Structure 1
Amino acid sequence: MSKQDSQSNTQTPAKQHNVWVLGDGQLGAMLSHAGQPLAINVRPVDIMTPSDERLPLQGTDIITAEREQWPESSLSLQLSEHPHFINGHVFGRLADRFTQKSLLDELSVPTSPWELVDDNTQTEALHQQYGDRVLLKRRTGGYDGKGQHWLKQAEATDIPADWRNEAIAEQAINFDEEVSIVGVRTQTGECVFYPLTLNLHQDGILMASIAPLTRLDHLQPQAETMLTSVMDELEYVGVMAMECFRVGDKLLVNELAPRVHNSGHWTQSGCHINQFELHLRALCGLPIHKPQVNFQCVMVNLIGVDKDDRWLSLPNAELFWYNKEVRVGRKVGHLNLSAHSNDMVNDSIGQLQQWMPQQYQAPLAWILDEFSR
């Protein structure tokens, strides 16, 4: 072999990827876990606890975030001002519901009719424009049903004084069901997507997801087109989620999330590349291809419940426990159930109905109903 041939066959050493995450909650932890098999060093950072610490950032390190908003501190500034803070210009724009909705309107992406609530907004005018039920949403903050206020004409509810200029008003949508799509955009602008996911919320909190579903296949191109237009406009890199209302055969965007998302947790069990790995691949410029779905999956959020080792006795269950203090309304884990057959799902859900508290009976019945179709 010639010296030239020998040199051409020499493999370039793999690049070391260091990814820092603004936030060290469960999403940061799952990003860290997903990075380990790829030798990506993922470092979630606690930005909620005041600290004068300086992080040993390198010029080639990559910064991402597990949340849309964060308090300003020396740590958060060091991370957010790094030149490789990917999508840094996006988080604030999508964290504000006013600028998020404005973006959707600019792109002609369907969403519920809305307007800014300012000093001149009158409750009666909102009812005349949008009907007897109008939902106010705080522009920033608010999740899992928080930061919302209903204006109900029958109850003569009014706009809270401190919500003016800090909220938007939306028309209530009589939707058939809620769905979401998780997609990824690469550094070169390629977009790939997971199948649409069917979701059930209770008191504004996601309780369960099912994916994929054949009956939603005809909506997949519509959802992909909508999310692609958003990601392209923002020159976004990484995973983004889009929650939608289904009204007949039309989708209306409810909210966008520039990060990995709760409704994509089923991919940890059901796909050969989960949403966390896909996000890291995009950030690091690693090869990406359309994720293969290995089997249908049901995700059950664990909210305000103590860990129950009986869940592990279910033959098709995979438990993800966040090791957080259990509090009412707090997400403390999730269960993924593989759905290789209806009988398997029925047996597992039947067991969970016996083990789980009252607030889970309606979501578990919803799952059984979907698999009885």
Structure 2
Amino acid sequence: MQAVPPGATIGILGGGQLGRMLALAAARLGYRCHIYAPEADPPAGAVAAQVTRADFTDRAALARFAASCAVVTYEFENIPVAPVAELAATVPVRPGIEALRITQDRLLEKRFCQQRGIATAPFRAVGSAAELDQAIAELGLPLVLKTRRMGYDGKGQAKIAKAEAAAAAFAALRSDELIAEGFIGFRRELSVVLARGADGRIVSWGPVQNIHRNHILWRTYAPARLDDRLRNDAERIAASLAEGLEYVGVLAVELFDCGDRLLVNEMAPRVHNSGHWTMDAAVTSQFEQHIRAICGLPLGSAERLCDAVMENLIGDEVKTWPALLAEPNAKLHLYGKAEARPGRKMGHVNRLYPLGQAPQL
């Protein structure tokens, strides 16, 4: 693959904070970014060379967007596949369409893991109330009923603890494309963020541990304190999934640590919240690495320079910015969002510690 030279324009589908941080990383390498997003004043637009505001199904707007770009990537996976596939006929799209198709559908994702010989929670496809009853009979209770697409930060899912609650849960999700997953009593949640280059080389930042509040990631501890067996298993699983997808770019794999084994929870075909710590604590951040990968550049080192704890700033927590700036070991990153709403990620702070000296969970 011929490298995309600095000075070229990178197209980014989506204008949120991930697109913003990708555009900032691209600028440091000499690239311009063109943001394509349906909303007005997207956070990424403030740091990009160009912005197109249009729906993801607007084929004429997408064609004009493609004509301006040397390569296109996406900052989130909830984008219709068909128009992106048309885009890929005229400009390289990385990661590829197959990665987008599989990772935006929880059922396809679980089946893909099965094909790779990678364990997940037991699951069943659910398209009707009768199929939900059958899933309960086969998986037992409790279980989690989820929409196959569009769910994030706890949205689009319901825990069912009693059979009599099943009908209400099915009706509340308002979809006939659902997946039922057996409930997993895990010890902790881990994730592995890695990059795979166009040449197949994989570079990983290693497993980290994630803590959630109200279904939203609150803190990430880097590194996760694991024995060598679990650490190696986590790395192997993530690499296998990236290879199976013939992936180019940064991929995140979320895992449940069940003590004696790891189960894949889900994948994200993009830079990921649990990789934000790399901006200040690694030789190469996940954002720079993604730009390197999609442009066909050599991947950078993922060596960890120090330990880190990343904390998301949700809603009004962003108002603590003066105190955060006063912390000697804190690096503050704000996303430029005008309104602090409950549950909205407004920024994050990376607290840095000497190697081996981060707080223990």
- Smaller-chain TM-score bracket: 0.7 to 0.9
Is there any run of 5+ residues in structure 2 with no aligned partner, and where?
40-52
The C-alpha deviation readout for 1:74-118, integer Å capped at 9, x for no partner, is 9x7875553311212321221011111111111111110001002
Deviation at 1:142, TM superposition (A): 1.2
> 1:148 maps to what in 2?
157
The C-alpha deviation readout for 1:296-318, integer Å capped at 9, x for no partner, is 00000011124321110000011
Structure 2 length as normaliser, TM-score?
0.85
Q: For 1:136-215, list aligned pairs within 5 A.
A: 136-153=145-162, 156-158=165-167, 159-161=169-171, 163=174, 165-215=176-226
> 1:311 maps to what in 2?
324
Instruction: Return 294-303 or 86-95, whichever deviates more.
Output: 86-95
What SS does the aligned partner of 2:194 have? strand
For 1:71 and 1:164, the matched residues in 2 are separated by 17
> 1:364 maps to what in 2?
none
Asked if 2 retains the 8 angstrom alpha-carbon contact of 1:242 and 1:257, the reply is yes
Q: 1:26 to 1:164 in 2, by over 3 A?
A: closer
Q: 1:135 to 1:214 in 2, by over 3 A?
A: closer
Matched, 1:82 2:90: yes
Larger radius of gyration: 1
**Match among 32, 35, 55 for residue 26 of structure 2:** 35
Give the AA of the match of 1:304: G
Q: 1:73 to 1:115 in 2, by over 3 A?
A: closer
> 1:340 maps to what in 2?
354
Q: 1:202 to 1:81 in 2, by over 3 A?
A: farther
For 1:282 and 1:342, the matched residues in 2 are separated by 30
Give the AA of the match of 2:204: F
Deviation at 1:227, TM superposition (A): 1.6
Q: 1:240 to 1:221 in 2, by over 3 A?
A: same
> 1:4 maps to what in 2?
none
Asked if 1 retains the 8 angstrom alpha-carbon contact of 2:124 and 2:135, the reply is no
Matched, 1:286 2:294: no
What SS does the aligned partner of 2:102 have? helix
Deviation at 1:14, TM superposition (A): 5.5
Give the AA of the match of 1:335: V
Deviation at 1:58, TM superposition (A): 4.4
What SS does the aligned partner of 1:240 have? strand
RCO greater where, 1 or 2, for CA within 8 Å and sep 6 or more? 2
> 1:70 maps to what in 2?
79
Asked if 2 retains the 8 angstrom alpha-carbon contact of 1:321 and 1:334, the reply is yes
What SS does the aligned partner of 2:319 have? coil
Deviation at 1:119, TM superposition (A): 3.1
Give the AA of the match of 1:234: L
Q: 1:72 to 1:126 in 2, by over 3 A?
A: closer
For 1:212 and 1:98, the matched residues in 2 are separated by 30
Asked if 1 retains the 8 angstrom alpha-carbon contact of 2:281 and 2:352, the reply is yes
Deviation at 1:131, TM superposition (A): 2.5
Please list every run of at least 4 consecutive aligned residues from structure 1 whose deviation after the TM superposition is greater than 4 angstroms. 51-54, 56-60, 71-74, 76-81
Q: 1:107 to 1:163 in 2, by over 3 A?
A: farther
> 1:23 maps to what in 2?
14
> 2:336 maps to what in 1?
323
Deviation at 1:218, TM superposition (A): 3.5
Asked if 2 retains the 8 angstrom alpha-carbon contact of 1:296 and 1:339, the reply is yes
> 1:135 maps to what in 2?
144
Q: 1:248 to 1:84 in 2, by over 3 A?
A: same
Asked if 2 retains the 8 angstrom alpha-carbon contact of 1:29 and 1:44, the reply is no
Q: For 1:296-307, list aligned pairs within 5 A.
A: 296-305=307-316, 306-307=318-319
Deviation at 1:57, TM superposition (A): 4.2
Structure 1 length as normaliser, TM-score?
0.82
Give the AA of the match of 1:339: Y
Q: 1:80 to 1:14 in 2, by over 3 A?
A: closer
Q: 1:314 to 1:50 in 2, by over 3 A?
A: same
Give the AA of the match of 1:104: C
**Structure 1 vs Structure 2: percent identity of aligned residues?**
35
> 1:295 maps to what in 2?
306
Deviation at 1:17, TM superposition (A): 3.4
> 1:92 maps to what in 2?
101
Count of residue pairs the alignment pairs up: 335
Asked if 2 retains the 8 angstrom alpha-carbon contact of 1:300 and 1:335, the reply is yes
Asked if 1 retains the 8 angstrom alpha-carbon contact of 2:10 and 2:31, the reply is yes
